[in-house]
Amino acid sequence: MKRFFIASTCLLSTLVASGVSEAAPPTCASLASATRVSIVHTGSASRVTVRDAARVRRLASAICSLPNFPSRIHCPRDTTLRYIATFAGGAGAITIDPFGCEAVTGLARARWAARSPRFWTVLGDAIGISKATVQTFQGHAR
């Protein structure tokens, strides 16, 4: 019994240290049922929490409506800011990158915002920025 406990503890420690998680990625169904989302700007650590359920649902729908990320595309190396949208109710976190290839990750399949300018408008509306574009989220003045 003692060996099993030690082996289990070592395995658990290895999984935690390597970042392996048992949680499945969020799904469009779980995003659609969320009533709150917190969005963090990784460059400044500023946070906006959206509590308006209709805005949260519109954002979830916009994310899920994005096309899948193309399988054969070269993206420039991108080490800039991102936005992390954490949907309440265990729906999970989505990473939104306004630079490079404009990838939206965190769902089972990555999504692509580069060909969907309306996505940035919906994201802006969710946090109270009217007429937002990708440049808004890149930090450029409108």
**What is the per-residue pLDDT across 51-105, written as a single tens digit (0 to 9) for each?**
999 999 999 999 999 999 998 888 877 767 899 999 997 678 999 999 989 999 9
Mean pLDDT of the chain: 81
pTM, two decimals, is: 0.78
Identify the pLDDT of residue 32: 86
Cα separation, 140 vs 56, in Å, equals 25
Identify the pLDDT of residue 49: 96
Furthest CA-CA distance within the chain: 65
Identify the pLDDT of residue 141: 52
Tokens of 54: 């209709």
Identify the pLDDT of residue 13: 37
